[in-house]
Amino acid sequence: MISIVIPTYNAEKFMPALLDSIFSSTVSDFEVIIVDDCSTDNTVEAVKKYPVKLIRLTENSGPGKARNMGVKTAHGDIIFFLDSDVTVTAGTIEEAADFFKSSPSVNCVIGVCEKEPLNSGFVPRYMALFEYVHLKGSRYDEVSVFAPRCGAIKKNLFEKIGGYNETYKGADVEDFELARRINRTDRIILNRRMVVKHQFANFRQAVKNYFKRAFMWVRLFIKEKRFDNAGPSVPSNGIAALSAFSALLSLVLTPFLDVMMYFFVFFMVVYLLANLKWLSFMYKEAGFAFTIKALFLNFFLGIDIVTAAMFALVSYPLKSLYK
């Protein structure tokens, strides 16, 4: 049996589409568990219209604790995590069920997000394409990341590794931290036939999210000393972000030191080379004008990421600054 666990917080506008997509599945042996993290909108009322098990937390605690609570009440031997702001494409739940049946030695699998986001706009489409090429386009079938927006894990493995770390109160890097514990004893398989459509961030949200998650990812890296082999956190994107920051710094210093112009050119070349994979992909998918805009956005977000990373490095010895 598959237990679909979905944490919610003020997700009223997403729930009908998500639950409709789930209940259109032809799989008969599954349950849906909604864990509401103290929503202040009408999420609970929207959920009650569907045959789901509803758990309401008494205080806002974050998606990590919400998912753990969902697993505790699950009857299935397979836990299929979904985020509240996705819809499941036709055949995805069937694919998850069939995958575990045909590959009994596999204990953990993740899917991918569609190239087109649920919401419109340049930034959401850029983010959808960027994530798509870095995950579905990965040359690896065994990956180092776990994505709870579309990820399934056997309940016994989830319980064995201790579930989500509940000290992460927001949607931060709790999935990266969980993946590292999974990989110590098991493997995570990428199944490109498990697909969801996702609501991606707008520009303001993206800047805020990138900064916060980069800060916390660097702290996690200092502790684990391990890079990822798939997804947006692969080393090439780190190199690109460092090159963007260094190129900007070199350009700012050029009026004072002529030699800095050579450094600017060097870092820009490195930046472009590190980004060739997704640049080529976006050009084929969305055309030249979109790709140029994407390049500027990526450059800005790279500076945002490196600023957060430097703050994380400087503040790391001051344990009281973070949980």
Over the stretch 8-20, which tens digit does the pLDDT of each residue have? 999 999 999 999 9
Q: How far apart are CA 130 and CA 214, in angstroms?
A: 16
Average pLDDT of the residues in 109-129: 96
pLDDT band per the 50, 70, 90 thresholds, residue 28? confident
Mean per-residue pLDDT of the chain: 93
**Closest C-alpha to 313, from 213, 221, 243:** 221
Rounded percentage of the chain residues whose pLDDT exceeds 70: 97
Q: Do 168 and 174 touch, CB atoms closer than 8 A? A: yes
Q: What is the pLDDT of residues 45-86, one digit of tens each?
A: 999 999 999 999 999 999 999 999 999 999 999 999 999 999
Q: What is the pLDDT of residues 95-109, one digit of tens each?
A: 999 999 999 999 999
Domains of the chain with bracketed CATH: 2-200 (3.90.550.10), 235-321 (no CATH)
Q: What is the pLDDT of residues 139-174, one digit of tens each?
A: 668 999 998 999 999 999 999 999 999 988 776 789
Q: Do 217 and 238 touch, CB atoms closer than 8 A? A: no
Output the pLDDT for position 171. 67
Rounded to two decimals, the pTM is 0.92
Output the pLDDT for position 169. 78
Q: What is the pLDDT of residues 244-298, one digit of tens each?
A: 999 999 999 999 999 999 999 999 999 999 999 999 999 999 999 999 999 999 9
Output the pLDDT for position 140. 64
pLDDT band per the 50, 70, 90 thresholds, residue 319? low
What amino acid is encoded at 49 in this protein? K
Q: How far apart are CA 193 and CA 196, in angstroms?
A: 10
Average pLDDT of the residues in 120-128: 97
> Does the structure show a pLDDT above 90 at 92?
yes
